Structure formats: structure tokens, C-alpha cells
């Protein structure tokens, strides 16, 4: 099964596609948000709202392990995640979509692994599934690569932080991409992100950032997101043999 992890402004997915059923999964890490099984291009697709219903959970409090484990339990092997981000590059404008190819992690208080009781070191040289990345790139007008800077939140970043992130090669900044991508990799899922640019980041933007600005901009991106998700799911080979499925082969000591 294909999974969609929806971030800010993606609730209309449930209104766009027929609902087959709903799944409430209670994992060993806690209860996950209600999962909606939607029919998209004659495929069953599991949609989970990252922030729970009503966008009620802030980014630093999301139970990322429960979300990923719930998708794993119902048989999801390929995940498309949507993330709202700020741009660090004036050539990447609000309203654009970017498919990240790597990340730098500046979160600091999140549980970032399923392996609390054994020594496991997964390879994260290429954290995002290249097969899914290429499917997304071919499915719409996007920036095909860029480093995602992951921050803790819930505050927006300072101007000095943004200038530092830009200096080290970051292209977009967000609060929800990590540890989600790492946890999916530990579950040997294929995972790729669609970053919807909602604003220029602090000090890149000519004015102070507001939450209203981000939410309004995300609404403007929804139509683009739905189109690229629909086309990507249509073009996704659910039976593809991918190296993401063998992440743990050389990771367990």
C-alpha cells in the first residue's frame, strides 16, 4: 500500500478522493491519528494527518514513531510526505514545490529511532528514496533537489540562524521532515517528501513571518500538491524492488 503523510493544508485530500474505510491504530508508541484509506487511481492509499485532526499537535510534539509504525502495521511500503517550508533561496519562490534530496538535522528533543534497546546504525547517505523522488520530479513542475534544514520549532528561526543555514547549503527550512524520514528508513519504507514553499525564511523575507501567511500560502499550494500526488501515485510501481527495503541488512551490530 502507498501512504501519504499530510502536513499543513492537505486536509482537502480526504474531500478529493473516495473514502474506502478508516483505520484507528494503537501502536506500542501510542495511538496514531485516524488513517483514511482513499481510492486514488484505483489504488488503496493510506492518508494520515501528521498533526492529527484539526491540525492540533505542534511539530515538536508530534508522535512521529506512532505515525510511521501505524502505516507500517497496515502494510504501507511507499510514503509520499508533504511538508510546508520556508525558502532560503530567492530563486525558490512561495508557491513552488521542491523535492529534497538530503537534510541537515537541527532538532534536539525528538525521539529519532525505533531502536532504543539494540545497537543499529542505518546508512543515511541518501535519506530519501531515489525511485520515489524521480516519480515526483516527473509528475509536475518542481525544483528537483535541495537540502532540507530541519529545525525544532515551534518558533520560526532567527535571521542569524537562517543566514547560517544558507551558508552551509540549505535550500528550504521546516519543522516536520525529521525524524520522520529516518523512522521510515528504519522501517525499510521508501519515503520521499514534497516540500511546498509557503514563504521566504526570516531575513530572506522583507517582513516578519506570521502563521497566517504560512497557512494562506499553503492553501494556494493545495491544488498543485493534489495534482502531483495523484500523478505520482498513478505512476508508482507498488511491486518495485528497491534498496530501501534492505536498509537493515548491514545496520544491525
118-162 confidence digits (pLDDT tens): 999 999 999 999 999 999 999 999 999 999 999 999 999 999 999
Mean pLDDT of 8-36: 90
Secondary structure element (H or E) that encloses residue 110, with its range: none
pLDDT at residue number 246: 93
Does 178 fall in a domain?
yes
Instruction: Evaluate if residue 170 carries a pLDDT over 70.
Output: yes
Structural domains of the chain, count: 1
Does 252 fall in a domain?
no
Mean pLDDT of 206-231: 80
Instruction: Evaluate if residue 38 carries a pLDDT over 90.
Output: yes
Yes or no: say if 219 and 82 are a contact pair by the CB < 8 Å rule. Answer: no
Does 137 fall in a domain?
yes
Per-residue cell: 61: 510534539
pLDDT at residue number 223: 86
Give which of 147, 155, 180 is closest to 66, Cα–Cα: 180
pLDDT at residue number 8: 67
33, 37, 73, 75, 213 from 23: Cα distances, Å: 9, 8, 11, 12, 33
**What is the DSSP annotation of 146-188?**
-EEEEE--SSPPPHHHHHHHHHTTEEEEESSSTTHHHHHHHTT
Whichever domain contains 143, its CATH number is 3.40.50.1580
Does 177 fall in a domain?
yes
- The residues, ordered by sequence, that sit 6+ positions from 79 with a Cβ below 8 Å of its Cβ are 2, 3, 4, 5, 71, 132, 184, 189, 190, 191, 192
CA distance 103 to 51: 21
Does 88 fall in a domain?
yes
Count of CB atoms situated within 10 Å of the CB of 209: 17
Instruction: Evaluate if residue 166 carries a pLDDT over 90.
Output: yes
pLDDT at residue number 9: 63
In this prediction, residue 10 has a pLDDT band, given cuts at 50, 70 and 90, of: confident
In this prediction, residue 222 has a pLDDT band, given cuts at 50, 70 and 90, of: confident
pLDDT at residue number 250: 82
**Tens digits of residue pLDDT in 89-109:** 999 999 999 999 999 999 999
- Domain with 189 in it: 2-246
Does 253 fall in a domain?
no
CA distance 225 to 96: 10
Question: Which of 217 and 200 is assigned the larger pLDDT?
Answer: 200
pLDDT at residue number 93: 92
- The residues, ordered by sequence, that sit 6+ positions from 171 with a Cβ below 8 Å of its Cβ are 87, 88, 89, 92, 98, 100, 143, 146, 147, 148
pLDDT at residue number 253: 63
Burial class (CB in 10 A: 0-12, 13-18, 19+), 201: buried
Phi, psi of 239 (to 5 degrees): -100, 10
Amino acid at each position: 500500500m502507498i501512504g501519504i503523510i499530510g502536513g499543513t493544508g492537505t486536509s482537502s485530500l480526504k474531500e478529493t478522493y473516495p473514502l474506502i474505510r478508516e483505520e484507528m491504530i494503537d501502536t506500542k508508541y501510542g495511538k496514531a491519528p485516524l488513517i483514511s484509506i482513499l481510492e486514488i487511481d484505483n489504488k488503496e492509499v493510506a492518508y494520515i494527518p501528521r498533526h492529527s485532526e484539526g491540525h492540533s499537535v505542534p511539530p515538536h510534539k508530534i508522535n512521529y514513531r506512532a505515525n510511521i509504525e501505524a502505516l507500517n502495521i497496515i502494510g504501507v511500503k511507499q510514503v509520499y510526505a508533504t511538508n510546508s517550508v520556508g525558502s532560503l533561496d530567492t530563486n525558490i519562490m512561495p508557491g513552488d514545490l521542491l523535492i529534497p534530496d538530503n537534510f541537515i538535522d537541527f532538532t534536539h528533543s525528538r525521539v529519532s529511532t525505533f531502536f532504543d534497546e539494540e545497537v543499529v546504525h542505518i546508512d543515511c547517505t541518501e535519506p530519501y528514496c531515489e525511485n520515489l523522488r524521480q516519480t515526483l520530479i516527473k509528475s509536475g513542475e518542481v525544483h528537483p533537489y535541495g537540502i532540507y534544514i530541519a529545525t525544532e520549532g515551534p518558533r520560526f528561526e532567527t535571521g542569524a540562524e537562517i543566514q547560517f543555514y544558507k551558508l552551509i547549503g540549505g535550500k528550504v527550512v521546516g519543522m516536520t521532515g525529521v525524524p520522520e524520514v529516518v523512522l521510515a528508513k528504519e522501517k525499510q519504507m521508501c519515503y520521499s517528501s514534497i516540500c511546498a514553499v509557503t514563504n521566504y525564511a526570516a531575513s530572506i523575507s522583507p517582513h516578519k513571518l506570521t502563521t497566517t501567511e504560512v497557512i494562506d500560502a499553503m492553501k494556494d499550494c493545495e491544488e498543485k500538491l493534489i495534482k502531483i500526488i495523484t500523478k505520482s501515485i498513478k505512476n508508482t510501481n507498488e511491486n518495485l524492488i528497491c534498496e530501501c527495503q534492505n536498509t537493515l541488512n548491514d545496520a544491525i551490530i
